[in-house]
């Protein structure tokens, strides 16, 4: 067979098999034609692990809250707050990963991973609530992204850039200190996690109704094509940590 014909057969067989994921083909000298199909493994929502993480984080919050109350000096309180930040930065990204694969819908209000469809604002507000912040997730989710950030962060902590080209913006973000960030876009909101794996963007993506995804921040289309970008260090803000430790009710900015 001619080379072009073999390529055509490969494509036809692929369609006939209905296979998804990546595929390649090989033609051996002996005339043996081989198709190799590698299925892309899609993440599945993990509600059971999510519940475990929520319970463990609440236990940690209770222990750290007591330690914070017992602290007598500013140095002692700061040490507890540092431990609280470490715990949040370890557990919150794991909670986000439990949502991967949960489908998107503009009106989605799922309470837990895989428990229906979820819009971007509800993904963010539910993770924040389940991380131990006393906040009305419905009211928070319905706010513009700027109000979601300012509900927790001071205005001077919300870094806004408008019209900046994506490559320079992504490079700037990669220079931010490790932690969990909130990021608001033209009409979208999500989490940025700067950690050992680099900059990751967790959000409920409306692109082709994909749902909750984990993307490299420097390759995410939602970040690239937004003109308005506001980011703030959620776990870097001392007031956020103290609010979490104290179990105070958060008033949603509207």
Q: How much is the average pLDDT of 91-112?
A: 97
pLDDT at 145 over 50: yes
Residue 40 confidence (pLDDT): 52
- In the chain, pLDDT over 70 holds for what percent of residues? 83
pTM (whole model) above 0.85: no
Domains of the chain: 3-38 (no CATH), 47-246 (3.90.1720.10)
User: Torsion angle, CA of 214/218/221/226, rounded to 10 degrees?
Assistant: 120
Helices (H), the chain: 3-17, 47-70, 74-98, 120-130, 137-141, 145-152, 166-174, 221-224, 238-246
Task: Return phi, psi of residue 124, to 5°.
Answer: -65, -50
Q: How many CA atoms lie within 13 A of 45 on its CB side?
A: 20
Other CB atoms within a 10 A radius of the CB of residue 32 amount to 8
Detail the DSSP E strand segments found in 104-227. 159-162, 179-185, 188-195, 198-205, 211-216
Residue 209 confidence (pLDDT): 61
Greatest pairwise CA separation for the chain in angstroms: 83
Residue 206 confidence (pLDDT): 86
For Cα atoms 77, 82, 86, give the angle at the middle one, nearest 5 degrees.
150
Query: Is residue 125 within 8 Å of 146, Cβ to Cβ?
Result: no
pLDDT at 132 over 90: yes
pLDDT at 3 over 70: no
pLDDT at 54 over 60: yes
CA separation for the pair 210, 204 (Å, rounded): 8
CA separation for the pair 193, 207 (Å, rounded): 21
Instruction: List, in sequence order, every residue forming a beta bridge with 202; answer none if it has no partner.
Output: 191, 214
Q: Which residues contact 9 (CB under 8 A, 6 or more apart)?
A: 1, 33
For Cα atoms 141, 145, 147, give the angle at the middle one, nearest 5 degrees.
85
SS3 label, residue 101? coil
Q: Which of 124-133, 207-216, 222-231 has the lowest mean pLDDT?
A: 207-216
pLDDT at 39 over 60: no
**Model confidence over 17-35: pLDDT tens digits?**
443 343 444 444 444 444 4
Q: Residue 104 region, left (φ>0) first, then alpha (ψ -120 to 50), else beta?
A: beta
């Amino acid at each position: 067979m001619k080379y072009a014909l073999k390529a055509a057969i490969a494509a036809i067989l692929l369609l006939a098999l209905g296979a998804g994921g990546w595929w390649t083909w090989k033609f051996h000298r002996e005339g043996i034609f081989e198709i190799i199909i590698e299925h892309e493994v899609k993440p599945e929502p993990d509600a059971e692990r999510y519940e475990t993480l929520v319970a463990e984080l609440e236990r940690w919050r209770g222990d750290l809250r007591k330690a914070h109350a017992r602290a007598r000096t500013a140095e002692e309180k700061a040490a507890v707050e540092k431990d609280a930040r470490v715990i949040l930065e370890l557990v919150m990204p794991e909670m986000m990963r439990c949502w991967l694969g949960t489908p998107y819908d503009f009106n989605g209000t799922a309470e837990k991973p895989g428990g229906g469809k979820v819009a971007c604002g509800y993904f963010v507000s539910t993770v924040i609530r389940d991380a131990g912040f006393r906040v009305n997730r419905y009211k928070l989710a319905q706010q513009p992204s700027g109000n979601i950030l300012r509900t927790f962060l001071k205005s001077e902590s919300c870094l806004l850039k408008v019209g900046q080209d994506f490559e320079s913006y992504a490079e700037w973000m990669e220079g931010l200190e490790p932690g969990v960030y909130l990021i608001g876009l033209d009409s979208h909101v999500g989490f940025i996690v700067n950690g050992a794996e680099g900059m990751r963007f967790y959000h409920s993506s409306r692109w082709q109704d994909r749902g909750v995804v984990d993307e490299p921040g420097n390759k995410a289309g939602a970040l690239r094509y937004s003109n308005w970008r506001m980011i703030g260090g959620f776990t870097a803000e001392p007031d956020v940590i103290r609010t979490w430790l104290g179990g105070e009710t958060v008033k949603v900015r509207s």
